Amino acid sequence: MPYELRLFLIGAAAVIDTALLLSICERSNWRRTALPIVTLTIGVWLFHGGEFANLLLLYSVGEWAEAARWVAMSTMCVGLLLMPCAMLHGVLRVIRSGFDVNTQFRPALLISYAPLVILPSVWFALAKSPNEPFLARVDGILWQYLVFAGCVNVMAIVVFHLQRTRTESQELRRFLLAMESFLCLLTGLLFITFLLKDPRWRSPESPLLLAIVLLPVAPAALFTYFVIRYRFMRLVVERTLVYGVIVVAALLFHHLILYRIAEPFADRLRIDLGILEGIIVFLLVMLYQPIRQRVAEALHYLMGRSRNDIRQRTRELAVEMWQHVADEPQMLGQWFVTNVQESFQLESAAAWLFDEHDVPFVEICDDSRIDAATIARLNRALESHSHVACRGPSASNHAACELLTELNSSLAVRVAQEGVSGLLLLGRGRRAKELGDEETNAILLLVELFAVTLHNHYLQKRQIDAERRAAQNEKLTTLGLLTSCITHEIKNPLSSIKTIATLLDERTGPNDENAEDIGLILEEVDRLVNTTAQFLKFARPASEGKEATDVATVFQGVIHVLSHLAKKHNVYVESSIAEDIPPIWCSEETLRQIAFNLVLNAIEATGTNGQVHIAIEQTVGAIVATIRDNGIGVSDEIRSRIYEPFVTGKTQGTGIGLYVVRRNVEELGGTIECDSELNRGTCFTVSLPLDKLRGKLDCAD
C-alpha cells in the first residue's frame, strides 16, 4: 500500500472524527448526547489522530522525532483501549435503560473503563523499544486486548439484535442492523488478521491492516448520516461541518496524492503546477453553473453588504409592518416604500395599487416622468408571463426588461394577493449597483408580507363594518320595540288633544282672539301624528304583500303630494318620466317609501329658490330613477356613512329615511348610489333590476 495513500485515508478518517466530535460537543447537542457516545467518539478520534501523526513522523530522525512518535503511539493506545470500554458502557446502559438519552446517570457503569488503568504500563512498554513498529511494541498485551474487544463486540451484537426486535422505530432498526453488521465485520477481521501468523498481513503496508484501522470511521459516518437524515436522537449536525470535512479531505487528497502524481509531469513539461490548477479551477467555475452561482454568492457575501445586516433589517420591517395593519392603503404604502428605500439604500422607490379594473387608486411616486400608462404596461408584461418579479438586464422577460431600462429602475415586483393587486418599482443600490440575490429575496419576502398586511387590513375593516352593522341592527331592533310602545301611548293623548282643540275651534270661530293659538295647537298635533306615523313605518316589518306596481304612477303621486311643500319653499320640481315604463312586482308601499324619502330630501336640501330634477328611464335590464338637486351637497365624511341609521346632515333630521330607502332597494335586488359635491348639489341614482322583478311578475301572471 503506497505511503501517500495510507496517509491520505487515515488523515481523512481523522478529519471526519474531528467534525463529529465537534458537532457532539456543541451546546445544543451536549444535553442530548449519552456519555458512551462521547467517549467512543473521543476514542476513535484519538486512535486515528495518533496514527496519522505516527505516519507523518515515519521518516523523521532524531531524538525529538522518537519522542513525538512515542506521544503519537501513546495517543493511539488511549484511543484503542477507550473504544471497547465505551462500547461496554453503552451496552450495559442499553441493557438497563434502553435507548433513552435522558436516563439517570449511574456511576456504577463507570466500571466499564477499569481497563484504562493499564495505560501507564503500556506507555512504559512503548518507550522501551525505540525504532520498532507499533504492533511490535505492544505485542505483549495484544492478545489480551483482542479477547477483551472481541467479547465486548459479541456482547454488543447480541444486545443490539434483541433491541432491534423490540423497537418500533424503523430508523433505529436500520441503525442497529448496520451496527451489528459493522461489529461482525470488525471482529472477524481482527481475529483473521492476528490468528494467522503470516507476517505480510501484520506489516504496516498490509491492506487488511489498513482496513482494520479505517473501520472505526464507518460507525461515525453512519451515525452522522442518521443524525442528518432522521434527526437521530434529536441531535443536530450542521451541514457546514460536513462541507468542511469534504474540503479538508479534498486538500489532503490534492497534497498527498494528486500533487505527487502530477509533479513529475509538471517537471517534464516545465509547467507550473499551481498555474495549471488555477486555470482548471477557473474553467470549472465558469463552465459549471451551480459552482459559478455558489462562488458568486460567496464573493458577494465577502465583498458586499453583510447578509446579517440585511436579514436583521428585514426581520425588523416584517415585525413593524404588522403594527400598521390598521393604516389605510395610502399610509401603509407610503410607510413601506420609504422604509424599503432607506433600508436597502436605493436610489428610488415607488409603488402603485390597482383596483379590480387595473386602474391605480393609490400612487406613491415622486418621479413625474413615470406615467400611469407605462406602469400599466409593465404590470401587464409581468402578468402575461406569470412573473412575480423582473430584475435588471438579465431577466428573461424582454418586454418588462425594456420597460425597466426606460424607467431607469433595477427591480419590478408585482403585489399579488387575494383582493390586492399592485406594483413595486425600485431603483439601483449604492453607486448605481444592481440589486443582488440577497437583497432581491429580502425585498420579495417583504412584498409578500406587504400584500398579506393589506389583505388583512381589508378583512379587518370588513369585520369592523360587520360588527358595527350588527350592533346597529341590535339597536334598531330595540328602538323599534320602544318606538312601537311609545307611539302607541302617544297616539291616544294626541287624539284627545286634537278632538278638544277641534271642538274649541268650532265654538270660537275664526274671529276669536284665541283662534290663532288653537290653529297652532292643531298644526303641532298634526306634525306629531306624522312623526309618530313615520316611526311606526320604520319599526313595522316590511309588508309581504306584493303586486304589479307602476313606477311612473307611484313617482307622479309622490311628486303631486310634495308639490305643496315645494311651492312653500319656492322650489322648482321638474320631472322627466319615459313612456312605456313596465310595471314591476313589488309592494306599492315599499316603492312609495323610496320615492317619498328621496324627493323629500331633495326638496329640503335645495332651500329657497332651488331646483329638483326627477328622471325615470328604462335601460338594458333595469329601471333607473335619478333624483338630482342643486342644494348644499353632502360632505365626504357624511356621504361615506349616509345610509347608516341616525346619520344625517340636516339639523332636524332623524337619520332613518335613507336607511329605509337602502333597505327597501336591496330587498328589491337593486342598487342605490350617491354622488354629491359641496355647494353644487346631490344626485341619488336608484337602479331596479327589471329581469328579476319582471320574472316574478310573469310568474304571477
Alpha-helix runs per DSSP H in 322-434: 329-343, 372-384, 398-406
pLDDT tens-digit series, residues 299-342:
665 555 566 677 788 888 888 888 888 888 889 889 999 998 88
Which residues, listed in sequence order, are joined to residue 688 by a DSSP beta bridge?
623
**Residue in this structure with the C-alpha cell 470511521, named with its chain if needed:** 217
CA distances from 596 to 489, 577, 614, 669 (A): 27, 16, 12, 19
Mean pLDDT of 547-555: 84
Contacts of 313 (CB under 8 A, 6+ apart): 343, 442
H/E element, 611: strand 611-619
Alpha-carbon distance of 532 to 310, in angstroms, equals 68
**Residue in this structure with the C-alpha cell 426581520, named with its chain if needed:** 315
Integer-rounded Cα radius of gyration of the chain: 46
Q: Which residue has the higher pLDDT, 555 or 168?
A: 555
Mean pLDDT of 189-215: 69
Could you tell me the three cell numbers for 485? 310602545
Residues 347, 432: contact at Cβ < 8 Å? yes
Q: Indicate the pLDDT class of residue 685, thresholds 50, 70 and 90.
A: very high
Alpha-carbon distance of 345 to 431, in angstroms, equals 10
**Residue in this structure with the C-alpha cell 306629531, named with its chain if needed:** 528
Alpha-carbon distance of 464 to 457, in angstroms, equals 10
The pLDDT assigned to 701 comes to: 47
Residues 206, 5: contact at Cβ < 8 Å? no
Contacts of 239 (CB under 8 A, 6+ apart): 228
- pLDDT above 50 (res 392): yes
Residue 485, classified by CB atoms within 10 Å of its CB into exposed (0-12), middle (13-18) or buried (19+), is exposed
Q: Indicate the pLDDT class of residue 185, thresholds 50, 70 and 90.
A: confident
HSE-up of 567 (CA within 13 Å, CB side)? 6
Q: Indicate the pLDDT class of residue 256, thresholds 50, 70 and 90.
A: low
The pLDDT assigned to 197 comes to: 57
Q: Indicate the pLDDT class of residue 627, thresholds 50, 70 and 90.
A: very high
Residue 113, classified by CB atoms within 10 Å of its CB into exposed (0-12), middle (13-18) or buried (19+), is middle
pTM for the whole thing?
Answer: 0.46
Give the range with max mean pLDDT: 55-69, 164-178, 394-408, 605-619. 605-619
Amino acid type, 524: E
DSSP character at residue 576: E
Give the three-class secondary structure for 510: coil
Residue 383, classified by CB atoms within 10 Å of its CB into exposed (0-12), middle (13-18) or buried (19+), is middle
Q: Write the Ramachandran bin of 128: left for phi over 0, alpha for psi from -120 to 50, otherwise beta.
A: alpha
The pLDDT assigned to 10 comes to: 82
Mean pLDDT of 104-111: 80
The pLDDT assigned to 678 comes to: 84
Mean pLDDT of 461-482: 73
- pLDDT above 50 (res 663): yes
Range in 530-534, 565-569, 606-610 the model is least confident about:
530-534
Q: Indicate the pLDDT class of residue 614, thresholds 50, 70 and 90.
A: very high
Could you tell me the three cell numbers for 108? 456504577
Residues 57, 84: contact at Cβ < 8 Å? no
Alpha-carbon distance of 215 to 224, in angstroms, equals 15
The pLDDT assigned to 505 comes to: 78
Residues 528, 494: contact at Cβ < 8 Å? yes
Question: Alpha carbon 346 to chain centroid distance?
Answer: 24
**Residue in this structure with the C-alpha cell 456519555, named with its chain if needed:** 35
Percent of the chain with pLDDT over 90: 5
Query: Which phi and psi angles does 437 have, rounded to 5°?
Result: -65, -40
Amino acid type, 215: L
Percent of the chain with pLDDT over 70: 77
Alpha-carbon distance of 523 to 14, in angstroms, equals 110
The pLDDT assigned to 216 comes to: 79
Q: Indicate the pLDDT class of residue 504, thresholds 50, 70 and 90.
A: confident
Please give the mean pLDDT across all residues of the chain.
78
Contacts of 660 (CB under 8 A, 6+ apart): 537, 538, 593, 597
Could you tell me the three cell numbers for 327? 393604516
DSSP character at residue 324: G
Could you tell me the three cell numbers for 185? 465485520
Residues 16, 245: contact at Cβ < 8 Å? yes
Contacts of 663 (CB under 8 A, 6+ apart): 542
pLDDT tens-digit series, residues 432-443:
777 777 788 888
